Amino acid sequence: MKQYKIAVLKGDGIGPEIVNEAIKVLNAVATSENFKLEYTEFLLGGSAYDKTGDPCPKETIEGCLNSDAVLFGAIGGYKWDNLPKEKRPESGLLKIRKALGLFANIRPAVIFDELIEASTLKEEVIKGVDLLVVRELTGGIYFGKPRGKEKDKAYNTMVYTKEEIERIARIGFEEAMKRRKKVTSVDKANVLEVSELWREVVEEVAKDYPEVALEHMYVDNAAMQLVRNPKQFDVILTGNIFGDILSDEASMIVGSIGLLPSASIGGKVGLFEPIHGSAPDIAGEKIANPIATILSAAMMLDFLGELNGAEKIRKAIKKVLKEGYRTKDIASFGAKRVVNTEEMGDLIAENAGN
């Protein structure tokens, strides 16, 4: 029997609730597929700061590095908003990504037929949408130096090296090879020298993938095209800040941020998390939608090579939605029965374990 060590970072707000449901589903699949998951919990975010004074303790980094994968919930909340920047929960997340070498963030945006009404776009525009945003995660303007804030001005620096662009481009093309073999590289090469280099390096990498069609698109046009005709996209490859914005836009195209998973990869260990936040206003009320976290768990199984288990989870989610079960956030869209967080987890686990 194969065994995998999973580091669990439940985080803050609704984090513990949604991660618990993902673990419930994972356990059901592990039993049916005959593999074992060994979980170890570590602290990250506001909960880590409260107990240790550090949003990302050394023990957490070491524990994650000694695991096969990391399952993560969400961090942050009003409680920690007034802390110094380096002590805030978000700093802990940036620190763990850097420490684990997670330079690639992969965010699928797939429309569920049962939830087409949840999108603000017309059915004919979004039916069949299935795209993937591949975002560079540890470079660009969020990390560039110099940076600073003075009395009358503030500044940040956007920096990318050829090596950083090449490695994220390879991830994008590899993902495209598994899909419809098209990459849309998004930049601002008409204005930014950084984007000029981005485009040059992407074109160089593309030569190693002759089966993949490559197109370039300016970020402002990409934002418009995502709303106008999202079905034209297969893999969107882009830098840190552009990817941050476009992936959130893509999430709303499919109707609910509570449905979308993500994977951060690049190092020995992958980190898997929903793209939504910690929603402290509903924490403890058992109304959070666990589907994004459960889909993130499915991406984790893909990463571990347990492809059958991952597919079982996805099919179970589709079946539960088709039967009309909805959490409160999506209750307006075809609900036959509104269920709480735990009940949704139970339903998916029951179907995934068969």
- Active-site amino acid positions: 142, 188, 220, 244, 248
* Token pair for 307: 């492809």
Q: How far apart are CA 257 and CA 251, in angstroms?
A: 5
Classify residue 297 as exposed, middle or buried by CB count within 10 Å of its CB (0-12, 13-18, 19+).
buried
Three-class SS state of 237: strand
Q: What residues have CB less than 8 Å from 147, skipping those under 6 apart?
A: 155, 156, 157
Cα distance between residue 59 and residue 117, in whole Å: 45
CA angle 110, 114, 116 (to 5 degrees): 65
**3-state DSSP percent of the chain in helix, strand and coil, to 5:** 50, 20, 30
18, 74 contact by CB (below 8 A): yes
Backbone angles phi, psi at 58, to 5 degrees: -55, -40
How far apart CA 287 and CA 259 sit, in angstroms, is 14
